[in-house]
Amino acid sequence: MKRIIAFALVTCLLVAAFPAAFAFTDVKDKEINAAAEMMKNLGLMTPYDDGTFRPDLTLTRAMFCTYAARLSDPAVDEKKYRSFTKFPDVRISHWGIGWVNAAVSLKLLTGFPDGTFQPDAAIQYGMVISVLMHVLKYTDEDVGANWPFSYIDAADRIGLTKGVSVSNYKEAITRGTAARLINNALRLKVNK
């Protein structure tokens, strides 16, 4: 009887200690899996219909808008941003129109000089870092105006980039890398 009780207690402790260990079957990295589970639990992202996270999928600008807007303002209602378009290449029928408009309204991302947003283009590391630094309330005055290098240097100093390795600021970001960065951002203090 003592062995059964001990086994039951150990099983309960293991299940309680590692709830996110197998949250997404397509994520092999434990840290990314935990970060993705945390993002799901906080409502920052939803899994795909098949329950996967797809950590190696390149993150688009529209996808990142969903994370950034929710992270910046958890109460944001993207539905109120669906009925208009700010960019000729983000049509009313685009799945992410509400999130793109919300992120732009929150001053997290901008369009390009030609007036487009390019919602389906891969988002680059330098942009992700600068957006997350803005979410943490850092400005050019805090980090310097040499974009994106001053933002990346400041992000390195405060620990935002911990566990992330990229070759350059133009590198496309995957969902897994974004999860790791967002997890780091949630653990940091807001600047002001």
Q: pLDDT digit string (tens) for 98-156?
A: 999 999 999 999 999 999 999 999 999 999 999 999 999 999 999 998 999 999 999 99
The pTM of the full predicted model, rounded to 2 decimals, is: 0.83
Q: What is the pLDDT of residues 48-88, one digit of tens each?
A: 889 889 999 999 999 999 999 999 999 999 999 999 999 99
- In 3D, which of 15, 65, 19, 60 has the Cα closest to residue 44? 65
- Give residue 61's identity as a one-letter amino acid code: R
**Integer Cα distance of 136 and 130 in angstroms:** 10
For residue 132, give the H/E element and its range: helix 125-135
> Tell me, what's the pLDDT at 45?
83
Taking residue 131's Cβ as centre, other Cβ atoms within 10 Å add up to 25
| Per-residue burial over 71-91, b = 16 or more CB atoms within 10 Å of its CB, e = otherwise | bbeeebebeebbeebebebbe
